[in-house]
Amino acid sequence: MSFLDLVSKRQSDRAFDPHRQIEQEKLDRILQAAQLAPSACNAQPWHFIIVKDELLRHQVADATSTKMLGINHFTKQAPIHLIIVEEPANFSSRMGSFFKKKHFPHIDIGIVAEHICLAATDEGIGSCMIGWFDEKRIKKILNIPSSNNVVLDIVLGYSTQDLRPKKRKEIKELVSYDKY
Ligand SMILES: Cc1cc2nc3c(=O)[nH]c(=O)nc-3n(C[C@H](O)[C@H](O)[C@H](O)COP(=O)(O)O)c2cc1C
């Protein structure tokens, strides 16, 4: 599969086969792809919690959904929630963040998240990044120290959805050459 085929095949999957587990060797390769992601000053400011236990998974899923807005109910079907916890970055990255007024760990975590989703696609596994969740609740459920931020939950599972055409801005809207 070419890289463009791979990125075209990745989509946010919002329906999973709840009875089909992800094979450990596939998960291991996905985690290896995460391990290989770049980060500012190679700080690797992340920790991944693989939530597989049914009770914990359902509690985490509940913390991502909001009844009133009808958001993220599908997350209960996913056999894995991969929680990305932000870890303190190394000194160089923190200096960079301070002097350049950019929080590099959030950029790093965005990159590692896409490594994970693309690796999942490559394994035939569906994914969806979940940014809408009750962080306090997730920290409590998973014993995450209050000083660490939970940045993303990535749900993983065998998708039951067909590939949708992508809705994207035209390249000419996104790109300019030489000047803004
Ligand atoms: C940081 C981030 C947070 C997201 N949070 C959610 C979410 O809470 N629930 C959801 O259903 N999709 C979420 N998404 C998925 C986006 O809605 C999706 O990527 C976008 O609509 C493009 O569609 P595609 O991923 O199918 O190409 C999130 C994506 C990103 C990158």
Q: Is 11 in the pocket of ligand 1 (CB under 6 A)?
A: yes
| Nearest CA residue ID for atom 22, ligand 1 | 12
Residue 100 lies in a domain: yes
**Confidence grade of residue 68 (pLDDT, cut at 50, 70, 90):** confident
Task: Give the whole-angstrom CA distance, residue 27 versus residue 177.
Answer: 40
Is residue 40 included in any domain, yes or no? yes
Q: Strand, coil or helix: what is 23?
A: coil
Indicate whether 1 belongs to any domain: no
Say if 50 falls within a structural domain.
yes
Per-residue model confidence (pLDDT) at position 164: 98
Helix (H, G, I), strand (E, B) or coil at 137: helix
Q: Which atom of ligand 1 is nearest to the CA of 11?
A: 26
Q: β-strand 80-86 against 126-130: which pairing, if any? A: unpaired
Task: Please write the tens of the pLDDT for every residue from 153-178.
Answer: 999 999 999 999 999 999 999 999 99
* H-helix segments, the chain: 3-9, 24-35, 54-64, 91-100, 104-122, 135-142, 171-174
Pocket test for ligand 1, best of 10, 12, 108, 164 (most atoms within 8 A of CB): 12
**Could you tell me the CATH number of the domain that includes residue 35?**
3.40.109.10
- pLDDT at residue 43 tops 90: yes
Q: How far is the CA of 154 from the centre of ligand 1 (A)?
A: 10
Please state at what angle helix 135-142 crosses helix 54-64, rounded to 10 degrees. Answer: 170
What is the pLDDT of the chain when averaged over all its residues? 97
State the total domains in the chain: 1
| Ligand 1, pocket-test mutation among 14, 130, 138, 162, most atoms within 8 A of CB | 130
Residue 177 lies in a domain: no
Q: Does residue 166 line the site of ligand 1, with CB under 6 A?
A: yes
Kindly state whether residue 12 falls inside one of the protein's structural domains: no
Q: Is the C-beta atom of 132 inside 6 A of ligand 1? A: yes
Say if 3 falls within a structural domain: no
Instruction: Let me know if residue 5 belongs to a domain.
Output: no
Range of the domain at 148: 20-160
**pTM higher than the cut 0.95:** yes
